[in-house]
Structure 1
Amino acid sequence: MKKLVFATALAIGSLTIGTAATPIIFHDGIMEDIFLQDYTEVAASDLPAPIVNALATDYEGAMLNKAYVDDENNYKLEITTQDGVSSVLYADAEGNWLEM
């Protein structure tokens, strides 16, 4: 009888340990909203010429999907390359690429 009680307690204890170690992952679009909080969407025609030139030179054939600007005049560009790969680039107003 002691073995049965011990086995039951061990089984219940192992179940609670397994569920406690599982991380909870939230993905409901909140992170996209957080990343966009600092940026305001701008039209492609409003981009500074150095950024347009840098994009044409360094990412030849890439299509600009969306552009955003922050308070410090840094730009976030969502592009699609010729290979069909979506990418996000960051640049300053002088057309220098930024690491984010």
Structure 2
Amino acid sequence: MKNLFLSAAIVLGGLTSFASTSQVSNTIVKTISIQDDYTEIKLEELPTAVTDALKKAYPDAVLSKAFKNTKSEYKLEVTVGDKTGNLFANADGTWIKK
């Protein structure tokens, strides 16, 4: 009878030590943001191809600011209705997805 109680205690003790062991895992997430440097330009300095593409694609858009980077890509800050956003275009008026 003592052996039965002793073996039951050993088995239960072994199970509790197993249940209390937990694995710790660390997850590291790195975010890399690549951003081209755009410098603000006057709206008059935009190529006509870009302004024509804007009028064709978004006739109700209001252009508020324009920026240019070293690759001759243009960033346009536009407002359509109550929404404001950025559009990107090449010098020939082709839209760029960013």
TM-score, normalised by the number of residues in structure 2: 0.63
Match of 1:50? Answer: 49
- Where 2:37 maps in the other structure, the secondary structure is coil
Same amino acid, percent of matched pairs: 36
1:27-58, Cα deviation, whole Å (9 max, x unpaired): xxxx9xx95x6011001110000000000010
Task: Give the greater-gyration-radius structure (CA).
Answer: 2
Instruction: Give the match for residue 59 of structure 2.
Output: 60
When you count strand as a share of all residues, which structure comes out higher? 2
Cα distance in 2 for partners of 1:74, 1:63 equals 19
Specify the SS of the correspondent of 1:72.
coil
1:96 corresponds in structure 2 to 94
- Provide the alpha-carbon RMSD of the alignment: 1.8
Q: In proportion to residue count, which structure has more helix?
A: 1
Helix, strand or coil for the counterpart of 1:56?
A: helix
Unmatched segments (≥5 aa) in structure 2: 1-32
2: CA distance, partners of 1:77 / 1:92: 11
Task: Tell me how far 1:93 sits from its aligned partner.
Answer: 0.1
